[in-house]
Structure 1
């Protein structure tokens, strides 16, 4: 037996008296999503406020969590774009400009909205599973309005990805003898940048930039070609989202271990 919430225009939402009609492990997906997001948020918070072991001077490895490094306390060579002329207080991360941008870009991402709406907010948790909320307000509440700014956060995140790419490329020209060189850290940073570009370019907003607001694809063959290629990436946006989160933590952890002297970077060339 089902009932309808008449508070919503147009028929309302179907409500079920049982907690769930499902017989499978419907809770496993939301649980894993919550654990995955929580792991990233906790790890990221610890690392950005640690403000140490973010830079390997010998090979110019800079963790993406600290890029661009802008504080006066940053190592001079780590601040590839210069340092502000004052020291940051202890509670302000060195990369205080990029971190909010990247966080807002991820939080407002269409895939991540679905992920945490279903797993944390439970709206809805899964098909045929009763919701804990009596009504549905969508994204009309004040705290939800920034979700509509995702397209603008994309532009800023695109710039940050370019900066991460620059950090990765510069490190290749700081081998053991000061010339071109390749170490495990270079490969780790390269993999991270590839996945970050995969996530950024597969974004729905990126597709809109190239193919949105067009009355006819026939009149814009180049934009149509780009839009169709990005659409292929967009089909794997979820995978790029999770893999890029994993690569961010892996890259940061590797650089932190090398910077702290816990491990030594294995050199492949020079």
Structure 2
């Protein structure tokens, strides 16, 4: 009941759904924060949007994704016949000449599916694009909240399965990194600037992947007595320490995979030659 002496912005609002339900505090103001709370969700939305634009362009380009001995992480492993016509590098030709779509369309669904359902990225794009909520102590504009209990957001629960696919993708990218220790004539014992780019990328890809909450559960979940499983306990502690940096690793690995692809694009398109150290 309002008495007329309440501070400005705290008078009761008409009852409604969501954050304005009768069970919630009756605060008329959208929020009481005085800092620039909108900077974080805006920066998140801008960063994710930039990656979506770039990856979409590169996925549909269907060109300049191989420069011996480097193959773009967006296109690896290359599973279409047109990869064989593009280069003599490694590919599995599982799809014949009928497959006219860019090979990256086949590959990117797995790492992007893993990131799209990742617990951190869900928080990031829920806040950045859907404003659910836009920031701590800032009410979301939606009248009701159902979380991830209904279609399509209930599909986020497939994250644990995309984790297994992400492990396979990381394994393939590790193989590509090993192959980067060759020269353009496929002779071993050489190293170029692209090799360093690939090394940094695969290190970030692996640390981001195994710092996932699903990995932490697989390693140490459902154990009643850690003392009886010392190896799994140490692995769980290690993954837990990485998990504390999951957000940072998510952004760094997102940037590194785009950088690795862009580097291959620059070399393949003839912008410059890959500097070889030895």
TM-score, length of structure 2 as denominator length: 0.89
- 1:199 paired to 2:208: yes
| Residue of structure 2 equivalent to 1:26 | 37
| Corresponding residue number in structure 1 for 2:127 | 118
**2:108 equivalent to 1:99:** yes
Structure 1 unmatched ranges of 5 or more: none
Superposed counterparts of 1:18-97, under 5 Å: 18-57=29-68, 60-74=69-83, 75-89=86-100, 92-97=101-106
- Whether contact under 8 Å (2:18, 2:143) holds in the other structure is no
Task: Assess if the C-alpha contact under 8 Å between 2:182 and 2:189 holds in 1.
Answer: yes
Aligned pair partner of 1:157 in 158, 163, 166: 166
Deviations 1:155-193 (A, max 9, x none): 111100100110110121335672320000011011000
Runs of 4+ in 1 over 6 A off after TM superposition: none
| Deviation per residue, 1:72-107 (Å, 9 max, x gap) | 111353343344223423xx3303332111111101
Looking at CA atoms only, which structure, 1 or 2, has the larger radius of gyration? 2
Structure 1 residues 259 and 166: alpha-carbon distance in aligned structure 2, compared to 1, 3 A threshold: same
Q: Residues of 2 paired with 1:258 and 1:14: CA distance?
A: 59
How large is the Cα RMSD of the aligned pairs? 2.0
For the structure 1 residues 218 and 189, does the alpha-carbon distance in structure 2 shift closer, same or farther, using more than 3 Å as the test? same
CA contact (8 A) 2:65 2:72 kept: yes
Q: How many residues align?
A: 264
Q: Give the secondary-structure state (helix, strand or coil) at the position aligned to 2:277.
A: strand
Residue aligning to 2:222: 213
Structure 1 residue 216, shift from structure 2 partner: 1.2
Instruction: Tell me how far apart the structure 1 counterparts of residues 66 and 97 of structure 2 sit (CA, whole Å).
Output: 20
What TM-score do you get using the length of structure 1 for normalisation?
Answer: 0.91
Distance in 2 separating the partners of 1:254 and 1:245: 14
Structure 2: segments with no counterpart, 5+ residues: 1-9
Instruction: Report if the CA contact (8 A) 1:5-1:15 is conserved.
Output: no
